[in-house]
Amino acid sequence: MTDPIRDFRCAVVAALGHSPAQIEPGVIVRFGPRKACWCKLFDDLRGGVFGDWRSGATETWSATDSGSMTRRQRAEQARQVAEAVVQRQREQRQQWADNAQRIARLWSQCVPLVPGDPVTLYLKARGLGGVWPLPACLRLHRGLDYWHDGKKLGTCPAMVAPLVTPTGATVALHRTYLCADGRKADVPTVKKLTGNAGPLAGACIPLDRPHRGVIGIAEGIETALAAGLGSGVPTVAAANASLLAAWQWPANVQRLVIFADNDRAGREAADALRARVLKAWLRADVLTPTGDGADWADVWVQAGAADIAGAAA
């Protein structure tokens, strides 16, 4: 005897790589990383719909082969799918609006950097003491609450930076939790993104702007600062590999320098971005450190500017 809930969950996992712990027919459930995935099994258990809000992908599932369904059954399933998608869109818009308020409130609590504060001490310890003035998009939050699994573990200084879309909208904040002396905070996850106020695809942390049609991009803030300092290429940060792959470069760019991390995710993201750039008939150069697992911040600390400048020439 078939189990429609089990079969629906299997379809969700196969497509999205995740599934909710519980599926209640007739209810939209959010799950997965940052709860960006969603699904709804219809009340009649004959069909369902699921998707990933980050990518915009939506798929349908049917307990019955579509070829054996009547016209009326197909029409009813289509109606249920459309209804679920509209409901999910409405919920997502409300969540984005709520997150936008939280982002604005958090950003208003941040202050510009000054020498000797926890952020500048942290960046100095990372070998980036020569970067001054630091990009204006980097700010200090003097006492940011740290939450983990629904519990507040403490309050820490934090480096805060906005993720900005090509249209200039701030859709999330990147937070690096620190100690007062610039060390990384002793917390489960030092670097976190806030909930987003819109699609993250295309956004970056705008550490710099193109110069003479050239822009660089790296995954992390520290890596981007090191790559820019060492190469002379103005470089922005993507925050992670998936956002690097999805980044949308400015309209006036003619050459893109991708400072890739030398791990599987970094190489694959760099290749994906390069393919998109080449498809737009622009020049794209992927630069990858030779050491396994290394990024260009590591190269900067170990070798200084020479290796980076030579690679980017």
Q: Check whether residue 262 and residue 225 sit in a common domain.
A: yes
How far apart CA 286 and CA 259 sit, in angstroms, is 6
Q: Check whether residue 162 and residue 228 sit in a common domain.
A: no
Structural domain including 290 reads 204-313
Q: Check whether residue 217 and residue 313 sit in a common domain.
A: yes
Higher-scoring residue by pLDDT: 74, 162: 162
**Domain closes at, from 155, 178, 201:** 201
Q: Check whether residue 127 and residue 210 sit in a common domain.
A: no
CB–CB of 180/221 below 8 Å? no
What is the share, in percent, of the chain residues with pLDDT greater than 70? 95
Fill in the DSSP letter of residue 128.
Answer: I
Q: Check whether residue 16 and residue 34 sit in a common domain.
A: yes
How far apart CA 32 and CA 97 sit, in angstroms, is 21
Rounded mean pLDDT of the chain?
Answer: 90
How far apart CA 218 and CA 58 sit, in angstroms, is 30
Q: Check whether residue 159 and residue 258 sit in a common domain.
A: no
**Domain closes at, from 72, 103, 134:** 103
How far apart CA 153 and CA 170 sit, in angstroms, is 27
CATH number of the domain that residue 297 is part of: 3.40.1360.10
Query: 257: helix, coil or strand?
Result: strand
* pLDDT band for position 256 (cuts 50, 70, 90): very high
How far apart CA 267 and CA 286 sit, in angstroms, is 9
pTM: 0.80
Q: Check whether residue 208 and residue 306 sit in a common domain.
A: yes
Q: Check whether residue 96 and residue 122 sit in a common domain.
A: no
pLDDT of residue 109: 97
Range 155-172 average pLDDT: 97
Range 151-155 average pLDDT: 93
For 172-208, letters b (16+ CB in 10 Å) and e give bbbbbbbeeebeebebeeebbbbbbbbbbbbbbbbbb
Q: Check whether residue 119 and residue 191 sit in a common domain.
A: yes
pLDDT of residue 36: 82
Q: Check whether residue 227 and residue 313 sit in a common domain.
A: yes
Sheet holding 283-287, edge to edge: 235-237, 214-218, 255-259, 283-287
Q: Which of 287, 303, 241 is nearest to 268 (CA)?
A: 241
Highest mean pLDDT out of 57-61, 68-72, 76-80: 57-61
pLDDT at 313 over 60: no
Q: Check whether residue 57 and residue 84 sit in a common domain.
A: yes
Residues for the chain: how many in total? 313
Instruction: Give the sign of the dihedral formed by CA 87, CA 88, CA 91, CA 94.
Output: negative
Could you tell me the two tokens for 31? 């799950």
Number of separate domains in the chain = 3
pLDDT at 115 over 70: yes
CB–CB of 208/228 below 8 Å? yes
pLDDT of residue 233: 96
Q: Which of 221, 193, 217, 239 is nearest to 284 (CA)?
A: 217
Look-up: residue for tokens 């991390």? Answer: 261
Residues 6+ apart with CB under 8 A from 67: none
pLDDT at 55 over 80: no
Range 138-160 average pLDDT: 94
pLDDT at 308 over 70: no
Range 235-243 average pLDDT: 95
- Minimum mean pLDDT among 31-35, 118-122, 300-304: which range? 300-304
How far apart CA 88 and CA 222 sit, in angstroms, is 36
How far apart CA 217 and CA 270 sit, in angstroms, is 10
The pLDDT tens digits of the residues spanning 186-219 come to 999 999 999 999 989 999 999 999 999 999 999 9
Fill in the DSSP letter of residue 117.
Answer: S
* pLDDT band for position 1 (cuts 50, 70, 90): low
pLDDT of residue 218: 97
